[in-house]
Amino acid sequence: MATIVYQKNKKTGAVYVYESESYWDKEKKQPRSKRRYLGKLDPETNEVVPRVISQEPEPRKRGPRPSAACKCRFSGATWLLDQIGEQIGVEEDLRRCFPGSWEQILSIVYYLTLEDSSTMGRFSKWASIHTHPYGEDIPSQRISDLFQSIGEDSRQQFFRMQSKRRAETEYLFYDITSISSYSETLRQVRYGYNKEHDLLPQINLALLYSQRTMLPVCYRKLPGNIPDVRTVGNLLKELDYLDIRKINLVMDRGFYSESNINEMFRQHHKFLIGARLSLKLVRQELDKVRDELGTRKHYSSKHSIYYDSFSSDWDYTETKKQSGETISGKRRIYIHLYYNASRAAEDRIGLNVLLDTLEHELLSGKRSPEHEKQYEKFYTIQETPARGVSIEPKQEAIDRAEQNYGYFALISNGIKDPLEALELYRAKDLIEKAFGSLKERLNMRRQFVSSEDSLDGKLFVQFLALIYLTRIQKTMLDQNLYKTHTLRALLDELDVIQRFDYPGKAPIYSEVTVKQASLFSAFGVKPLS
């Protein structure tokens, strides 16, 4: 049965009308819904005014708009973003999901992309000297209203459209990043493990991003105290909603659990995941090859690492929800083992530095409460009135601590080659580092908003800016541009190109240098003329 859905744009006051029809998906065995755009609601007659040409929002005409006054504005960097938005489909998807506000949203995205670590309060100044999709100023209060108007349904629709643009055969990286908040009124702000060691409460963002394009696909906001391992079940449900049929996931060992592995097997998903050396199936294989893993025949000069690989049986279990029946069996799994001699040496140096500190504290009588367990673990301590404190290192404990230095393991049900698995996992680490630097640029480390709707809208806009920045970053890597430019320097180089608007006349652009033209060419973009 169809129902009518009304969506109001708080910025313009326009009310958009959709027809939503629910149906049962026999294949997925869950309810679904289809939405059809009907038109705008007339504020005087309360009647729906349908679109004459199409049910889809009308595409914005490309090219400059007529100017009512003489203007001189910077256009080079925003022109690059225009073209990137077309290339990756962000502009088209925004236009369909946010028919009444996509230009305002995109203008703020441009601002965040081009202005390093800037607050929203400076948007007006930036907008007055740059061309951008909306073309007009958006005051601070209107920006807040805009954030609050970005609804969950439209966000999810955007994620679905973006996910369909990703190849089904590529791997998707999954990770969680923390965002600190000063607000005490947000429901999901909690104290939890913070990778940046920030002492503020936080929310977590679960991010899914593409291995091939390096572009973010979607995100999900989580309470700050939810452990990583507990998020995988909902991730798989969300991927099902996004209609990503063939799922290949790469995750670090913080997401490992037997239940998560069983669930991925149950849904026939491929995965590559880090595993702790203490796991029985990993420890057994490592103990077999520990003495010879560091020999020449196991060495890869390309990757500067020793490696070996084994196939094994996973004890698969599944409990049927309706009957409670437990099904068990064997599933093929690949265990990839690695030894990094340089990392092992660094870890041993670190352990010796720690032991030096412990010995100094014990012998000087300045014991640290934080080190009490380590005193007991690594030393036999005796104290007499005549001879004072004497210590004896527990060599067996030190040897146990050192035995796994330099080793790590990956497990997969789809990648047999250990070096292929290593390259894929290392690519995940590179993107994580890139995301860290981009978070700084987008001012995402700490949020100052005080309402849930504002936070949700702001995170979505920052996520869009992250898409643009990662696209620029990947192109710079692919084209070797980091040898001659930083991200900031490249955007600044293009940003100085100006556009001159005169009433009734076509715009005129300032001269484009050979260097600027080559940068546009590297991005597959035609220079302004």
| 423 pLDDT above the threshold of 90 | yes
| 445 pLDDT above the threshold of 60 | no
Share of the chain above pLDDT 70, in %: 83
pTM: 0.73
The pLDDT score that the predictor gives to residue 188 is 46
| 64 pLDDT above the threshold of 60 | no
Summarize the confidence of residues 454-468 as an average pLDDT. 89
Question: What distance in Å separates the CA atoms of residue 169 and residue 192, rounded to the nearest whole number?
Answer: 35
Residue pLDDT, tens place only, 2-27: 677 777 776 567 787 777 777 666 66
Angle at 72 between CA 71 and CA 78, to 5 degrees: 115
Question: What distance in Å separates the CA atoms of residue 465 and residue 162, rounded to the nearest whole number?
Answer: 14
The pLDDT score that the predictor gives to residue 518 is 96
The mean-pLDDT minimum among 65-79, 163-177, 419-433, 465-479 falls in 163-177
Q: Which two tokens stand for residue 498?
A: 């100006």
CA dihedral 355→361→364→367, nearest 10 degrees, is -150
The pLDDT score that the predictor gives to residue 222 is 76
The pLDDT score that the predictor gives to residue 241 is 73
Summarize the confidence of residues 203-209 as an average pLDDT. 82
Task: Say which residue the tokens 């791997």 belong to.
Answer: 171
Confidence of residue 387 (pLDDT cuts 50, 70, 90): confident
Question: What distance in Å separates the CA atoms of residue 203 and residue 96, rounded to the nearest whole number?
Answer: 29
The pLDDT score that the predictor gives to residue 528 is 84
Question: What distance in Å separates the CA atoms of residue 379 and residue 382, rounded to the nearest whole number?
Answer: 10
Confidence of residue 430 (pLDDT cuts 50, 70, 90): low
Summarize the confidence of residues 461-467 as an average pLDDT. 91
Share of the chain above pLDDT 90, in %: 51
The pLDDT score that the predictor gives to residue 200 is 46
Confidence of residue 344 (pLDDT cuts 50, 70, 90): very high
Using left for φ > 0, alpha for ψ between -120 and 50, and beta otherwise, residue 528 falls in: beta
What are the phi and psi torsion angles at 343 (to 5°)? Answer: -65, -40
Contacts 24+ apart (CB under 8 A), 263-267: 263/232, 263/233, 263/236, 264/232, 264/236, 264/413, 265/314, 265/316, 265/331, 265/413, 266/318, 267/236
For residues 472 and 65, the model is more confident at: 472
| 91 pLDDT above the threshold of 80 | yes
Question: What distance in Å separates the CA atoms of residue 230 and residue 237, rounded to the nearest whole number?
Answer: 13
Q: List CB contacts of 396: < 8 A, sequence separation 6 or more.
A: none
Q: List CB contacts of 277: < 8 A, sequence separation 6 or more.
A: 283, 286, 404, 407, 408, 409
Q: From 281, 335, 343, select the one nearest 309 (Cα to Cα).
A: 335
Cβ(288)–Cβ(311) below 8 Å: no
For residues 194 and 160, the model is more confident at: 160
The pLDDT score that the predictor gives to residue 479 is 95
For residues 144 and 430, the model is more confident at: 144
Q: Is 313 buried (19+), middle (13-18) or exposed (0-12) by CB count in 10 A?
A: exposed
Torsion over CA: 502, 505, 507, 511 (sign): negative
| 44 pLDDT above the threshold of 50 | yes
| 52 pLDDT above the threshold of 60 | no
| Mean pLDDT, the chain, whole residue set | 84
Residue pLDDT, tens place only, 111-143: 999 998 778 889 999 999 999 999 999 998 899
Cβ(242)–Cβ(501) below 8 Å: no
| Domain edges within the chain | 1-56, 71-152+452-529, 166-335+410-450, 343-402
Confidence of residue 398 (pLDDT cuts 50, 70, 90): very high
Cβ(69)–Cβ(79) below 8 Å: no
